[in-house]
Amino acid sequence: MILAHEFIRSSVARDSDFTTCQLERQRTPDGRQHALVAQFASSDPTEFARAAELIAPWVDGVDLNCGCPQSWAIKEGIGCSLMQRPEVVAEMVKSARARLGPSKTVSVKIRISKDLSETQRWVRVVEAAGVNFITIHGRTKSQRSSTPPDYEAIRSLIAGAKVPILANGDANHPSVLAEIIKKTCAAGTMSARGILENPTVFASLAVTPVESVQKFMKYAVKHPIPFPLLLHHLSEMSAGVKGMNKKEKSRLMACRDLFDAIDFVEEKWGLGDFHDQTKS
């Protein structure tokens, strides 16, 4: 989630919050092209539209996060606080679509309300503004991640929706992904925490393979990202690889730079064809 205000204001924020490369939008073996969507947090139509316009050359769409439950986000009037302001979100969607044109998507991510009729009204208002699709997380803003997502609530919201709905909540295992689709009839699923730990979850691999870590290091060398971000992703992925213990996790988090991280991965798992591919 990128703060639209900071993204507009500061080139430093743009360079640290968003990095990409051509590989992220390459075509799959069957000819389909990967789509890249950037997610922003904002509460102002002009601000959201301007951020969308700035990032447009490098993405296929933008998403507005109306589902972040953290207290600081709600205090700032973003995230879940926007579940009380559907008309404002509708204006943001309209403004972004006007700037981007029909070739890019504008979507939103939400959580459910205790009273589902409120969520149904919210969806109708934002649909009328021209949103392309909506992702629904099956928890309320006050529910912790230990609370099971309410997939039945998502299913009922999908039944009355006019745009594609993606389902979110505990999408962290291939079998769970299939179960979510079965229970909700959603057009697709979205994974957040799950895919950070296992980037291959949508490839139906239940456990993060060592090759994922090796490939990530290769990409990080060829297409650099800020080191704190690299360390965060590496920490999440390595937690899903079999054989990682607490002592090794501490050693990983003590890495000071990219070279330290490469040394750790090489010592722990080896680097595969890392050296050959980074030279190509």
The answer to whether 214 and 193 have CB atoms below 8 angstroms apart is no
pLDDT of residue 277: 53
- CA 103 vs. chain centroid, Å, equals 21
Q: Is the pLDDT of residue 280 over 70?
A: no
Chain segment 153-172, per-residue pLDDT in tens: 999 999 999 999 999 999 99
The answer to whether 122 and 157 have CB atoms below 8 angstroms apart is no
What integer is the mean pLDDT of 28-53?
92
Instruction: Decide which of 33 and 226 is more confident.
Output: 226
Give CA–CA dist 115/139, Å, rounded: 12
pLDDT of residue 274: 62
pLDDT of residue 242: 80
Residue range(s) of every CATH 3.20.20.70 domain in the chain: 2-199
Chain segment 195-249, per-residue pLDDT in tens: 999 999 999 999 999 999 999 999 999 988 889 999 999 999 988 888 888 899 9
- CA 148 vs. chain centroid, Å, equals 20
- pLDDT band for 134, please (50, 70, 90 cuts): very high
CB atoms within 10 A of CB 223: 13
What pTM did the predictor assign? 0.91
pLDDT of residue 243: 80
pLDDT of residue 174: 95
Q: Is the pLDDT of residue 276 over 80?
A: no
Give CA–CA dist 123/81, Å, rounded: 15
Which DSSP symbol is given to 132?
Answer: S
The answer to whether 116 and 156 have CB atoms below 8 angstroms apart is yes
Catalytic annotation, pick one of 68, 80, 185, 255? 68
Mean pLDDT of the chain: 93
| 2-199 CATH choice from 3.40.50.150, 3.20.20.70, 3.30.465.10, 3.90.1170.50 | 3.20.20.70
Give CA–CA dist 109/122, Å, rounded: 12
Long-range pairs of 274-278 with CB within 8 A, sequence gap ≥ 24: 274/214, 274/217, 274/218, 277/218, 278/218, 278/221, 278/222
- The residue type of 33 is Q
Q: Give the torsion sign (CA, 79, 3, 189, 179).
A: negative
Highest averaged pLDDT of the listed ranges 87-101, 239-253, 259-273: 87-101
pLDDT of residue 52: 98
**Strand order through the sheet with 165-168:** 2-3, 37-41, 61-66, 105-111, 133-137, 165-168, 188-190
- pLDDT band for 278, please (50, 70, 90 cuts): low
Known catalytic residue at 80? no
Instruction: Decide which of 245 and 33 is more confident.
Output: 245
Q: Is the pLDDT of residue 266 over 90?
A: yes
Give CA–CA dist 86/6, Å, rounded: 23
The answer to whether 126 and 108 have CB atoms below 8 angstroms apart is yes
Q: Is the pLDDT of residue 4 over 70?
A: yes
- pLDDT band for 272, please (50, 70, 90 cuts): confident
Residue 121 dihedral angles phi and psi, to the nearest 5°: -65, -40
Q: Among 29-33, 134-138, 171-175, 239-243, whose mean pLDDT is lowest?
A: 29-33
pLDDT of residue 54: 96
